[in-house]
A = this chain, B = another copy of it.
Amino acid sequence: MTDIRNLDEALAGIAQPWQPHRLASINDYDLKVVKLEGEFVWHSHPETDELFLVLSGELTIQLRDRDVVLGPNDVFVVPRGVEHCPRADGEVRALLIEPQGTVNTGDAGGERTSPLRELP
């Protein structure tokens, strides 16, 4: 049986941006908490949609044809295969929902690739 996890406690334990941590699993999907700050890298996930739920702060998801600006409690799904580059001008706290094994940098790879971390 799983335990209760609290979003705020989980996020308080995360020091660095761009490091997704697993909060819970539902079958073969993960609910992840992450802090975002600054600009990420352009990438796409050819195999899966990616859901962003902003908890605090303002997150801009740059798409090739427009910017999607998300505030607290806004939800947006980047469809599979769509190039995007998240940018947070201040600190953003967010939830992600993705299939297990989804890599944060998608098809781009590189030094910003972060393994999925477990919460302490």
Contact = CB atoms under 8 A, between A and B. Distances in A.
Interface of A: 1-8, 23-27, 29, 31, 48-51, 53, 63, 68, 70, 73-77, 79-80, 82, 97-99
Given A31-B97, A77-B2, A79-B2, A26 B7 contact: no
Chain A contact surface mostly: strand
Contact of A97 (B29, B68, B74): B29
A66 B45 CA distance: 40
A38 B6 CA distance: 23
B77 A25 contact: yes
Contact of A68 (B4, B27, B49): B4
A51 B31 contact: yes
B97 A5 contact: no
B6 A24 contact: no
